[in-house]
Amino acid sequence: MNTLAGKVAIVTGGASGIGRATALLFAREGARVVVADIDGAGAEATAAQAVPEGSAVAVRADVSRPEDCRRIVATAVDTFGGLHVLFNNAGIIRRTTALDLDVEEWDRVMAVNVRSVFLMCKYAVPAMTEGGSIVNTGSGWGLKGGGNAISYCASKAAVVNMTRALAIDHARAGIRVNSVNPGDTDTPMLRDEARQLGEDWAAFADDAADRPMGRAGTPDEIAQAVLFLAGDAASYVTGSALVVDGGGLA
Ligand code: NAD
């Protein structure tokens, strides 16, 4: 049987990268999926690619905004009749030190990466009336430091520990909450990071110190870990931080 048969899922940041790969995998595994992204056309494109046809709908939404988060959850309930899985994955990065970062940029990274997880959980948990599974995208840089990414490192550490707090608060309601923590994964975000640092992609991708396996991960490899946490195979896993980084943190 498919891992998510009969389940309704939300994927934020579903227009691109890890979110798109996960939304498509969730659909193949039997879920009906709400694909939410600030990039409305990209979210539509993901929903259109989902197999079986009609298993996904797109919502244009900014997950830093309360009314948008409420609308994402309402779409799941109104369109598909409930909610079981939430993948809080939308995120942004600014590759600067504290010296070069504007206060507004600090606030934006915190709003998109951290406030969004709080808001989505605030509205999604009451809709998970049959229990559920929430997966939040942290990062290897939520578990250790990283250079030239002060706001991002702070935001992802917050996601990892907020995940633990949510897991404790909602365990008795049958809701599991875990973080998935990717290492470098070949997505538009990572390629944009190379640009922000003024580095050639080939040289950036060849950073051997961070990559014992000699390569970056793929979005599909992260999606498989999210699927495990989302499904019943992980029924006793909550509050955990699953690292999927080809050995980078090791
Ligand atoms: P990506 O840029 O390909 O996808 C991120 C998506 O989030 C985009 O579609 C973007 O439009 C969307 N988004 C951004 N701001 C939004 C907002 N305010 N509201 C709604 N949607 C918004 O990046 P990705 O690499 O797939 O990243 C997905 C997650 O994985 C992020 O949380 C990122 O921090 C995390 N991550 C990525 C890597 C990596 O190496 N790629 C490593 C560790 C963690």
pLDDT for 200 equals 87
Rounded to the nearest whole angstrom, what is the distance from the C-alpha of residue 116 to the centroid of ligand 1? 12
How far is residue 208's CA from residue 244's CA, in Å, rounded to a whole number?
A: 17
**pTM of structure:** 0.98
* Residue 137, pLDDT above cutoff 90: yes
The burial class, CB within 10 Å (0-12 / 13-18 / 19+), for 22 is: buried
The helix or strand, by DSSP H or E, that contains position 193, with its residue range, turns out to be helix 188-196
pLDDT for 194 equals 86
How far is residue 181's CA from residue 235's CA, in Å, rounded to a whole number?
A: 19
Inter-CA distances, 41 with 20, 35, 99, Å: 13, 11, 35
Q: Is 152 a catalytic residue?
A: yes
* Test site for ligand 1: of 18, 20, 93, 119, most ligand atoms within 8 A of the Cβ: 18
* Residue 207, pLDDT above cutoff 80: no
Of all atoms in ligand 1, which is nearest to the CA of residue 186? 41
The domain ranges of the chain are: 8-185+219-241
Rounded to the nearest whole angstrom, what is the distance from the C-alpha of residue 89 to the centroid of ligand 1? 6
- CATH code, 8-185+219-241: 3.40.50.720
- The conformational region for residue 11 under phi > 0 = left, psi -120 to 50 = alpha, else beta, is beta
Q: Which stretches of the chain are assigned E, i.e. beta strand?
A: 8-12, 32-37, 56-60, 85-88, 132-137, 175-182, 241-244
pLDDT for 129 equals 98
The per-residue pLDDT for range 8-31, each reduced to its tens digit, is 999 999 999 999 999 999 999 999
Show the tokens assigned to 88: 């809080």
ipTM of the modeled complex:
0.99
For residues 67 and 211, which has the higher predicted lDDT (pLDDT)?
67
The answer to whether 16 and 39 are in contact (CB under 8 A) is: yes
* Residue 121, pLDDT above cutoff 90: yes
* Test site for ligand 1: of 16, 24, 243, most ligand atoms within 8 A of the Cβ: 16
Of all atoms in ligand 1, which is nearest to the CA of residue 63? 19
Whether ligand 1 lies within 6 angstroms of the CB of 63 is answered as yes
Rounded to the nearest whole angstrom, what is the distance from the C-alpha of residue 90 to the centroid of ligand 1? 5
Task: Select which of 33, 61, 152, 217 is catalytic.
Answer: 152
